[in-house]
Amino acid sequence: MRREIPLIITISVGFLAILSFFSPPFEPLGEDFTLFFDIIAVFAFFLGGGNLMRVHIDKLIKRKKDWGFSIVTLVGFLVMLVAGLGKIGAESITSDITREGLFSTLYYNVHLPLGSTMYALLAFFVASASYRAFRAKNREATVLLIAAFIILLGSTPIGQMLTNWMPEGMSILEIPNLAVWIMSSPNLAGQRAIMIGIGLGVVSMSLRLILGIERTYLGKDSG
């Protein structure tokens, strides 16, 4: 029964979710499912926080590689947790911690600057990856290189200067306009194809879960 009950719950909820979406009499069920999801998500936050502490405390005890970073992680996690739950520095218990108190101070003066720094450092990795990806090794890579070059050039004043001499009837060949066309036509077509593929994959996996074919979420012995 340890595996049959989760299967029954999954199949029942799956069919009810489909009914709530396609059948008007069952629409209120969709709202209930949203509420249940929020409740489950709260427990997921607790499990995530507990697992974070367990992993890093174990790393500290066993002095694994880079265990010093675990100290920083745990201290940061606990300080933000206490500052948020205790609303330290806030005027009252009902105050918005995103606008006042220690939590907002640490978030806007420590977390956001660190995030911006990490994002800025990614530029070097993006440049390195672009150099490897855009080398014209074959026909497809050559097309990618030309398209990327046009888009990058079209975003700069130089791109406008190089082709602003073209007559009005050939304005589509101006580099900025060509960059816009690449982004709005071939690129958008590729994005839609990818989204369609993702949608089909989601539908396929959902059907496997609802029909009880996919059972990996039950554990190792779920075959």
pLDDT tens, 156-213?
788 777 777 777 767 777 888 888 888 888 889 989 999 999 999 998 988 888 888 8
Domain assignment of residue 53, yes or no? yes
Residue 136 is given by DSSP the state -
Angle at 114 between CA 66 and CA 72, to 5 degrees: 30
* C-alpha span between 85 and 74 (Å, rounded): 16
Q: Which domain holds residue 38?
A: 1-86
As a whole-number percent, the residues of the chain with pLDDT over 90 amount to 9
Domain assignment of residue 94, yes or no? no
Domain assignment of residue 10, yes or no? yes
Domain assignment of residue 132, yes or no? no
Domain assignment of residue 65, yes or no? yes
Examine the pLDDT at 220 and tell me if it is beyond 70: no
Q: Total domain count for the chain?
A: 1
pLDDT number for residue 1: 64
Amino acid at 92: S
Selection from 5-14, 60-69, 123-132 with the highest mean pLDDT: 60-69
Domain assignment of residue 6, yes or no? yes
pLDDT number for residue 15: 84
pLDDT number for residue 111: 87
Domain assignment of residue 31, yes or no? yes
Residue 197 tokens read as 């593929």
Domain assignment of residue 56, yes or no? yes
